[in-house]
């Protein structure tokens, strides 16, 4: 059983809850609407029972009232969030991976963008996602929902100072590559390092000047001149899957 003093957060949707359960996340309880009885919820209930996670069944109206800010779709889970990976645990995590690579998000503040980035990172096989602890979106229910299970697959590591975190990674042999729309180096014409940290900027102004200074190189994604930039989650997905394509070659 989890410590009741630990912080918790709710996620909604059968897919997200199932992914959290399968990933071994610390789930305090699951709530199901009585009218949400189908094959997927029966399988979820069986898996929860096997994992020792209590399942509460209640009327949909009561679930709506209990979780007014969660798009639960008849299924929700309370996650213990106090176990989020600590910055001090990152080196050991990376050391356990035979081919580690990292995504760094520089003050991405929209939880929907964070969730989309986590979904892409999980799908591409990124080892960890790091982001500043302050002035950036955290793993809220909204972010977890958009991540569609990705937040339960790829470790998310809040860091105190992103620039210092990048320097520590570089000291361990990683190369920091920034996504910058004004760079003349195309991602498709640039050799990418094996131990790569992709660095993507926030919604307002892209990479901050200090963060850019700590990048070993910057690349851009070629696009039509009529468009100045891409959404951070779209640009990140392109960069991650271009890297995955090369790593598989």
Q: For 103-134, how does the pLDDT look when each residue is reduced to its tens digit (9 = 90+)?
A: 999 999 999 999 999 999 999 999 999 999 99
User: Apex CA 71: angle with CA 143 and CA 120, to 5°?
Assistant: 30
Identify the band that residue 144 occupies on the pLDDT scale cut at 50, 70 and 90: confident
Mean per-residue pLDDT for 220-241?
92
Q: Is residue 174 part of a domain?
A: yes
Closest CA to 19 of 77, 103, 66, 91: 77
Mean per-residue pLDDT for 217-221?
96
Identify the band that residue 1 occupies on the pLDDT scale cut at 50, 70 and 90: very low
Supply 186's token pair.
């195309």
How far is residue 27's CA from residue 233's CA, in Å, rounded to a whole number?
A: 28
- Return the CATH number at 121: 3.40.1280.10
Supply 187's token pair.
């991602």
Q: Do residue 92 and residue 213 come from a single domain?
A: yes
The full DSSP string for 126-153 is: -SEEEEESSSS--S-HHHHHHHTTGGGT
Mean per-residue pLDDT for 14-25?
86
Mean per-residue pLDDT for 69-86?
79
How far is residue 13's CA from residue 211's CA, in Å, rounded to a whole number?
A: 36
Pick from 21, 46, 80: which residue ends a domain? 80
Q: For 83-102, how does the pLDDT look when each residue is reduced to its tens digit (9 = 90+)?
A: 468 899 999 999 999 999 99
- Return the CATH number at 45: 3.30.1330.30
What is the per-residue pLDDT for 7? 61
What range does the domain containing 213 cover? 87-248
pTM for the whole thing? 0.73
């Amino acid at each position: 059983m989890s410590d009741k003093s630990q912080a918790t957060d709710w996620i909604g949707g059968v897919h997200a809850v199932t992914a959290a359960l399968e990933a071994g996340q610390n789930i305090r309880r699951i709530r199901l609407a009585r009218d949400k009885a189908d094959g997927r919820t029966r399988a979820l209930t069986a898996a929860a029972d096997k994992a020792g996670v209590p399942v509460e069944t209640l009327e949909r109206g009561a679930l709506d009232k209990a979780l007014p800010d969660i798009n639960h779709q008849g299924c929700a889970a309370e996650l213990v969030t106090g176990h989020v990976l600590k910055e001090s645990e990152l080196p050991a995590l990376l050391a356990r991976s035979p081919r580690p690579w990292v995504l760094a998000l520089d003050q991405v503040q929209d939880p929907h963008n964070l969730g989309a980035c986590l979904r892409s990172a999980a799908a591409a096989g990124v080892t960890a996602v790091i982001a500043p602890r302050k002035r950036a979106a955290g793993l809220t229910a909204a972010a977890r929902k958009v991540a569609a299970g990705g937040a339960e697959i790829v470790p998310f590591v809040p860091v105190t100072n992103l620039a210092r975190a990048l320097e520590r990674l570089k000291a361990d042999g990683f190369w920091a590559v920034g996504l910058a729309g004004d760079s003349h180096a195309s991602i498709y014409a640039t050799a990418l390092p094996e131990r790569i940290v992709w660095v993507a900027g926030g919604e307002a102004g892209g990479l901050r000047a200090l963060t850019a200074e700590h990048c070993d190189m910057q690349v851009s994604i070629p696009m039509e001149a009529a468009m100045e930039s891409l959404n951070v989650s779209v640009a990140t997905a392109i960069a991650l899957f271009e890297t995955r394509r090369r790593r598989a070659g």
